Structure formats: C-alpha cells, structure tokens
Structure 1
Amino acid sequence: MKIEINKIYNENSKKGLKKLPSNSIDCCVTSPPYWGLRDYGVDDQIGLENTPDEFVKNIVEVFNEVYRVLKEDGTLWLIIGDSYAGSGKGAVTHPDTNNKWKQGTNIGISHSSGKKKLIHHFNSNCYKPKDLIGIPWMVAFALRNSGWYLRQDIIWSKPNPMPESVKDRCTKSHEYIFLLSKSQKYYYDNDSIKTPIKDATVRRVIQDIENQKGSTRVPGKINGNMKAVFPKRKPRPSDNKKGNQGTGGIPIGLNGSSFKNHNNFLNENGELIHGSKANKKSVWEITTKGYKEAHFATYPEKLIVDCIKAGCKENGIVLDPFMGAGTTALVAKKLNRNYLGFELNPEYVDISEKRLRKELGLFS
C-alpha cells in the first residue's frame, strides 16, 4: 500500500509506521493512550497492559519506528499523563473486556483526566496503594535509553483541571510534554515561538545597576533596596561597562545576549522599543478544551501550535501515530504543514475526517 500525506489511516500505528520510508518525516506530535485510562473498544490497542512495564515496552516499540522514519533533524513532542495506584475497591471494568482487567491483586489505578474513569487491576510487586506511578518519566527514560535525546520536559499547566475529591494531596493540574530529538542537533525554530516581554520588565533590566530599583529589604537592613540579579560573565573589551561597575560582569539579556549598550531595547533616541521578545518558557498555561464530537479526551489546538511551529518547517510533514480526533492534523494544516496519521478505531477516523472537512473546507 502506498502511503500518502494529508491522510489518516485506519491502522495499527506500529504496523503503519513500518510502511513509511526512513528519514521521511519532519516532526512527530502525539499523545498515546494513557495507561489504564479507558478501553477504546478495538483489538491491539495500547493502554490495557497488565503492568506499567508492559505499557512502556509497547510505547518504546512504536517510537522506535517513529525514530526510524524521522529525518536526522527531526523532533518528537510527546504529551503524556500519569496515574495513581489505588486500592482497587469498587473497581469497574468495561462491559466488552470480559473481566480481562481483573487479573491482579487488590491494586488498581486511577486518573484525574478523561470523561470516563476505568480502574485497572494489575499485578504489583512494587506499587503500593496511593503511589504515583510515574508513567511519563518511565516512558521518557525508556525512550532516552533506546536512542532518543531527551531535551526537555515542558509542563502543561491547566487552569481548569478536572476536580478531584482527594484530601491528602493537591488536585492534579498538569501534564508533561517531552521534547525529544533524533540527533544532537535538530530543527528548532526558536524565533517562531518567542513571547513578548512586558515593558515594565524591560524598563527594570535596562536601568543602571547603581540606580536600579528593587523590592524593599527586611526592616533593619541598611544597604538599600534589593537589586535584580543577573547571570555574570567575564567582561569583554568591547563591552560598555557604564552603569555596571561592581557587578563583576555584564547582565545577560532576556534573548540570550548581553545588554550591550542597551541597544536591544532602546532606539537611537533612547526611547523604549516596544515588542521585544524573550525565549518561550517551559511552563505552558493552556485551558483544556475538548471536541464535542469526540467522547474521549482531546488536547486543545493551542497546546500544540508552538510544537509544530518550532519543530516543523512550512510544507513539512507532521506525524501523529495516535491521531484520535485529528487535532494534530487540523493544526498542521492551519500552519501550512502537511500531516500523516494512524488511528486504530475507525469511528475516530470518521470523526477526524469530518472535523477537517468542516474546519478546513476545500483545504482539507
């Protein structure tokens, strides 16, 4: 079967990936099924394994194929959540599973995400009731061991998390996005995802150090207000050290360079230049937003916009081996990229295709 781009294939991701040529994909943005969260009603699905280790093993096998099909400068942006070991009391099973989940002891798992909670009994020699299992990091370390470069953990902070009735820990309101790369050097468009710097921040950091204002010290301290502290480096002969006496070096700028002559933020008249930008930070606060046609959890479009902007050139190909409701495909096309995806459940493929036609029209 010839694989075409801008198409979602109703196929097991590992089998489908084997049909792709090596070094043919620019970027992969995806979120695999979370372990034990729900039964998607199809055979060969990932997420119903009896142990976390089995789940991680299956995930690694899929992403070994993703590694192969990525170009040498390709990246993987992996969204994945965690789960807790519970007592298993009152556990439920999907009516189509024939109790195949009830194979273990009284240990179960529970999640705070998703519309339908499914508690999975599993054999456990190392997880105690109420333990946080650590699935995201288990996967991240396993992928690193298999050859991927583990470049960064990004926190998806959710202002509107699912409510929890727990009384002995905080309500969980974040998930992880792991940035992994195939090579030590890879495509990453840093400028495309920079964020505006507030004018107040710029005004503070461009002050002369001796005149720089800061927060008031503890009562009784007599050596003035607390100054903003910057990383230091050894001054170069070309640096303008005016205003930096006593600092031991030149403050490092928000865009990674020094505030040499303050030219990064002031025009020739000494006026503040608006619109200065800084590197995007590693905590992304994005509201959850599902897709009403899908009866399962989907990540919001906004969450992966910067993943695709930074990780894939225009007209490149974004891969999603777990396409679900088609969010990756939709955002890729909106950003002038191509997509290619696999989805095991034919119902979800239909949902994705209808969504693309509705939102993109002829461009789908």
Structure 2
Amino acid sequence: RNRRSVWEIATQPYAKAHFATFPEKLVEPCILAGTSEWGCCPECGAPWERVVDVDYVQPHTRPGNPAIDRSRYEGRHEEGVGYRPEHVLSRQNRTTGWRPTCAHDGEPVPCTILDPFSGAGTVGLVADRLGRNAILIDQSQEYCEMAQKRVQADGGMFAETFP
C-alpha cells in the first residue's frame, strides 16, 4: 500500500546534545523513494531503474479478511471493454533486473544524498545503512563532529567519513 499524506512515526531519543533529531524511520522512506537501490551512473548521476515482471494473482486470505471466491468469474468478461484485472486480482511485482536511465556505459555507483542541515547526522546514518553515500553539511563544527562519530560508530570499520 502506498503511504498517505500523514505518516505516523514514533519519536526516537538521541542522547547527545542536539535538540531536533529526526527519527530514522522518517528518513528511511525518503531515501528509498529518492534513490535507486542499484545505484547511479558514475558520469551523470542518473539512477538505474528497476525492471519488474508484473503478475496478477488471486488475493491471499488473511484471518478476518477472507478472499472473495472469484472462481465463478473465471474466463468470463476478461476480454471486454473496461476489464481491469487489478480490480479482482492482487498485483505482484517481481524484480527481474536493473537498467540504466542514461546512455553512458559505466558500472553503477551508490547514489548520493545531500543533507545541507545535517545536525546529528541521521540522514548520513540511514544512508550508510541502505548502501548510499551522503554529503552532510552543517554550520556547527560541533554537530559535524557529532555526525561523523555517529556514522562511524554505527557503520564500524566499513563506514568512510571525511571531515
């Protein structure tokens, strides 16, 4: 199901001296929606797009919400004007591959997120966990150091941070 205009996300405490940290669960869907999981072109930054195989199948039954028995409709009116299988079946997407969205031939590199008001570095932290790069900017040297330590501590020896 698609997210709606109001998201209910619990706050998340942060022990360091920053007064307005975002919860990680708020940042995660934004990064996932705005970047390609496979990466982007190293030359122009165009994201790679997912190639999906779409299937329409009988909906799964759940306790308290059984699937409607559609067997009596099988084969009837499936070629008629206005027939739309998504009205009676569940759509299932299966990733079959990835393709570039530009004409360059380079191998994909991780997408990069820019956070010009990074504060405690939550965007960098979540980006690192999701395999993306991040450029964090803040006018406070204290917050920049705090964010760098936070990302390094979470990512361990694999997290690369630069002052």
**TM-score, length of structure 2 as denominator length:** 0.51
Residue by residue over 1:98-138, the C-alpha shift from the partner in whole angstroms, topping out at 9 and shown as x without a partner, is: xxxxxxxxxxxxxxxxxxxxxxxxxxxxxxxxxxxxxxxxx
The answer to whether the 8 Å contact 2:115/2:136 transfers is yes
Contact 2:112-2:133 at 8 Å conserved across structures: yes
Q: Which of 282, 289, 313 is 2:5 aligned to?
A: 282
For residue 29 of structure 2, the aligned residue among 306, 309, 322 is: 306
The AA in structure 1 aligned to 2:18 is H
Whole-angstrom CA distance in 2 between matches of 1:286 and 1:343: 25
The 3 A distance-change label for structure 1 pair 294 and 313 is farther
Q: Residue 333 of structure 1: which of 108, 121, 128 is its match?
A: 128
Q: Give the letter aligned to residue 294 of structure 1.
A: A
Report the number of matched residues. 87
CA distance in structure 2 between the partners assigned to 1:295 and 1:338 by the alignment = 23
**Deviations 1:293-320 (CA, angstroms, capped at 9, x unpaired):** 1331111101010000011113111110
| SS in structure 1 at match of 2:136 | strand
Deviation at 1:321, TM superposition (A): 0.3
Which whole-Å deviations, capped at 9, do the CAs of 1:306-350 have from their partners, x for residues lacking one? 000011113111110001000000001111111012111111111
Q: Is the 8 A contact 2:118 2:137 kept in 1?
A: yes
Measured in 2, the distance between the counterparts of 1:326 and 1:363 equals 17
Q: Are 1:320 and 2:115 matched, yes or no?
A: yes
Structure 1 Cα separation of the partners of residues 25 and 140 of structure 2 = 25
Query: CA offsets, 1:204-252, max 9 Å, x none?
Result: xxxxxxxxxxxxxxxxxxxxxxxxxxxxxxxxxxxxxxxxxxxxxxxxx
1:180-199 to 2 correspondence within 5 Å? Answer: none
Name whichever of 290-299 and 326-335 sits farther off.
Answer: 290-299
Matches of 1:330 and 1:343, distance apart in 2: 15
Structure 2 counterpart of 1:295: 18
Higher Rg: 1
Distance 2:12 2:31 in 1: 19
Q: Which portions of structure 1, spanning 4 or more consecutive aligned residues, are displaced by more than 3 angstroms?
A: none
> Contact 2:18–2:120 (CA<8 Å) still a contact in 1?
no
Identity %: 48
Q: Distance in 2 between matches of 1:357 and 1:340?
A: 14
- 1:1-364 equivalent positions in 2, closer than 5 A: 278-314=1-37, 315-364=110-159
Check the 8 A contact 2:31/2:127 in 1, yes or no: yes
Alpha-carbon RMSD across the aligned residues, in angstroms, is 1.1
Gaps of 5+ in 2: 38-109
